[in-house]
Amino acid sequence: MPEGYEELRKKYKLHEETESFFQICLESVGWNNPTCDTTVIDSRRIFDEKTEKFAGDVTFEGTVKEYIVPSAACEGGIPVDVLIPKNCGARPSILVHFHGGGYVMGSRMTDSSFCKLLASEALCVVVNVEYRLAPEHKFPAAVDDARCVLRWVLMNKPLVGGMNESKVGVCGSSSGGGLAAVVSSEIPGISYQILINPWLDITNGQPTCYEFETAPYCCKRSLDWLSEEYIRDPSDKENPRASPLLRKNIGSQPPTLFLIAELDPLRDQAYEYKKKLKEAGGVAESMLAKGAVHAYMTYPGHFKELGIRGRDRIMTFIKKRGTV
């Protein structure tokens, strides 16, 4: 088994889906923490290969249409996929989704299966965003793209399949969760946010970051490498637009749902941010997936049981916070 596996098993009870995930990664060259020992190009290739293996092929009954969001900062605009499920309500919630990948890897396609399931099960419109990646586009390019798309959606609800009365939420996993948290702090009019194993502090100084420093999947070494690829200058790491957990005045935030994996170096960040939101008078709730690893929600083809539990919680949350 991969480095750190036996140590992990001594402390935690791994879900059977996590056990088999580790086994498959071990049998595939470079699939365990590739960012620690390889190039950006190879890391992206491996990330895409894992998505193809674990995300599954989801049949979607509805429409998927690409739009190009105009942007002064991004030549050619920002591509998004808008998913409208069959039997979508007259005034559906609109959920703007930001994919994961540490600001360096990933795309609309790597989160496509997850977005299709979200749209189908929650009967909401999902806007799947293709923001710019580092190191070609350093911080704050991804944040600027996320802001641009969110503003466009708020001004074009009927165009993307909603109504003027439709509530708009944001969702993201890992680095995408960090983007969702940033734009929720900066742009008014967001009704709710869903943060899935969010990367909220790229200084990576929390106890669980060190606990999982050499974990077999999503370790602190990988996070540190990704943050260096993302930033322009060391001071960027403490900028609240890169590390929203470090924002001193958290201000008004929409109701928030955290989905947290137990075997994740980012676990403490989610709980710390939840505490800050509640101390500021906000509404925040969380669900801990015991025995699960960082990417369990965006690999629904493999993490079937764990994924269903998480999506059920999301559906309940959207029904409560996102319906008119």
Query: CA–CA distance from 271 to each of 74, 184, 194, 315 (Å)?
Result: 34, 18, 14, 21
How far is Cα 200 from Cα 179, in angstroms, rounded to an integer? 9
The Cα–Cα gap between 128 and 96 comes to: 6
* Three-state secondary structure call for residue 166: coil
The SS3 of residue 163 is coil
Helix (H, G, I), strand (E, B) or coil at 130: coil
Q: Rounded to an integer, what distance in angstroms lies between the CA atom of residue 173 and that of residue 179?
A: 9
CATH assignment, 5-321: 3.40.50.1820
Tell me the per-residue pLDDT of 251-266, one tens digit each, with 9 for 90 and over.
789 999 999 999 999 9
pLDDT for position 7: 78
Q: Which tokens go with 198?
A: 């969010």
CA distances from 106 to 86, 103, 110, 281 (A): 27, 8, 6, 34
Query: What pLDDT shows up at residue 215?
Result: 77
Say whether pLDDT at 34 is over 60.
no
CA 8 – CA 27 distance, rounded (Å)? 19
pLDDT, one tens digit per residue, over 106-125 is 999 999 999 999 999 999 99
Percentage of residues in the chain having pLDDT higher than 90? 85
- Tokens 């960090």 correspond to 178
The C-alpha atoms of residue 29 and residue 235 are separated, in whole angstroms, by 35
Place of tokens 């030549």: 75
Q: How far apart are the first and last CA of the chain?
A: 49
Mean pLDDT of the residues in the chain: 94
pLDDT at residue 295 tops 60: yes
User: pTM for this one?
Assistant: 0.96
**d(C-alpha 50, C-alpha 25), whole Å:** 8
Asked if 114 and 55 count as a contact pair (C-beta separation under 8 A), the reply is yes
**Per-domain boundaries in the chain:** 5-321
CA distance 90 to 162: 7
User: Are 243 and 185 contacting, i.e. CB atoms less than 8 angstroms apart?
Assistant: no
pLDDT per position as a tens digit, 166-176: 999 999 999 99
Model confidence at 200, in pLDDT bands (50, 70, 90)? very high
